[in-house]
Amino acid sequence: MDSHTRLSPNILVLLVMALTFIPVTRAQVFAKNGCPTHCGDLTIPYPFGTMEGCYLNKNFYINCTETADSFKAYLAYTDFIVIDITMEGQLQILTTVARDCYSAPRIPVMRVPQIISLSPFSIYNVSNTRNKFTAIGCDTYAYLYGFVGNKSYRAGCMSLCNRFEDLVDGSCSGFGCCQIQIPDGLKTIDVVAYSFNRHVNVSDFNPCSYAFIVEESRFRFSSGYVQYISEDYKFPVSLDWVVSNETCVEAAKNPSNYACHRSECHEPDTGSGYLCKCPDGFYGNPYLPEGCLGIDESKETEYLLSEPSGANAQGNDGSPSDYDSGRQQIILQGR
Ligand SMILES: *[C@@H]1O[C@H](CO)[C@@H](O)[C@H](O)[C@H]1NC(C)=O
Ligand SMILES: *[C@@H]1O[C@H](CO)[C@@H](O)[C@H](O)[C@H]1NC(C)=O
Ligand SMILES: *[C@@H]1O[C@H](CO)[C@@H](O)[C@H](O)[C@H]1NC(C)=O
Ligand SMILES: *[C@@H]1O[C@H](CO)[C@@H](O)[C@H](O)[C@H]1NC(C)=O
Ligand SMILES: *[C@@H]1O[C@H](CO)[C@@H](O)[C@H](O)[C@H]1NC(C)=O
């Protein structure tokens, strides 16, 4: 019970009351009362929501659109498909691949960039700890252009090889695949792929150069990528989010917008802004007034601090692997 000594008296009273309530499941406190908890397979925790009244503000709007065979969750008013949301300030989106392709049977000759544009005041950042700038090909170099604050930034990655048989899956050391870190606070990302020699010496197995930002833990280099990555293929990119760019102290001054109800405010290491978390010994959704659950260890059951909120799914037949084709230009504006 040591961890409970740090709770406010308010929470302690609620905990005692809660022990008389019925056990609940975690799903019941994901969303606001009467709001969908899912879009296809994607769980949508408040402050995110798919309908007016279900999200905290428009930055957290998820556009859940039904397509012929599934549901697609678009981030706010963008073309980014969302595949994962955590209440700890992370969110995964899908993006297309920059490519530079040369003459080969059935592969169109083209150069297409990957653009991820974030306004300076966006609550979202491209995570510099979880993503890597990646280039793939055997006659390949690629640029990453962007801005860090008001400073322009440019980096490059180069990848060469002679024979398909020599490529090593899982290795990105500049031989078929090159990977480098990206800087903190990078906005307005523009990735462009090039070739040194139009792939003439490697065209039988590698007609294109590819480049993209990708979440490192969800990407493993395969020699198959050198042969071809289809135009509608999308890789996951991991974003950081905060409730707003205010500090906890600033945010608490405005109770009507403050998001941490019966939960604790904290400022993430990734930069300015704040997030909420349940007090020690509780878990659940810290953004809902009734979102934090306690655990009665003696009875091995879970109890809610207050009334459970309703939950109903908005379709459950979508698949996160069901990557949709889309535009390359992706713009996230702060509101
Ligand atoms: C939601 O996404 C669909 C499909 O991309 C689009 O047609 C629609 O305009 C979007 N709605 C809003 C409010 O952005
Ligand atoms: C860029 O930002 C720094 C600090 O934020 C400021 O001192 C500098 O004047 C800015 N430069 C331009 C060109 O806006
Ligand atoms: C491509 O092959 C030609 C002929 O073998 C060689 O002269 C040239 O250096 C090669 N170019 C590259 C970029 O490997
Ligand atoms: C926070 O964002 C608002 C716009 O949403 C902006 O006007 C303000 O300057 C930002 N504050 C900081 C400290 O970045
Ligand atoms: C994004 O990065 C900038 C610069 O490091 C930082 O000030 C900001 O708070 C970060 N935002 C998030 C959501 O992590």
Question: Tens digits of per-residue pLDDT, 47-60?
Answer: 999 999 999 999 99
Q: Give the model confidence (pLDDT) of 184-198 as tens digits.
A: 988 889 999 999 999
162 lines ligand 3 (CB under 6 A): no
Q: Give the model confidence (pLDDT) of 284-295 as tens digits.
A: 899 998 888 876
Say how many Å lie between the CA of residue 221 and the centre of ligand 3.
26
Say how many Å lie between the CA of residue 321 and the centre of ligand 1.
21
Block residue for tokens 């397979």:
41
Q: What distance in Å separates the CA atoms of residue 267 and residue 263, rounded to the nearest whole number?
A: 13
Would you say the pTM of this structure is higher than 0.75? yes
Rg (CA), the chain: 23
Pocket of ligand 5 (CB under 6 A): 123, 125, 184-185, 240-242, 270-273
Q: Within a 10 A sphere around the Cβ of 108, how many other Cβ atoms?
A: 11
Say how many Å lie between the CA of residue 120 and the centre of ligand 4.
9
* Contact of 32 with 53, CB cutoff 8 Å: yes
Position 303: which residue type?
Y
Taking the CA of 163 as reference, the closest ligand is 3
Which two structure tokens, joined as six digits, stand for 295? 């655990």
Domain residue ranges in the chain: 2-89+242-314, 92-240
Burial class of residue 161 (count of CB atoms within 10 Å of its CB; 0-12, 13-18, 19+): buried
Q: Within a 10 A sphere around the Cβ of 263, how many other Cβ atoms?
A: 23
Query: Which atom of ligand 4 lies closest to the CA of 245?
Result: 1
201 lines ligand 3 (CB under 6 A): yes
Position with higher pLDDT, 31 vs 178: 178
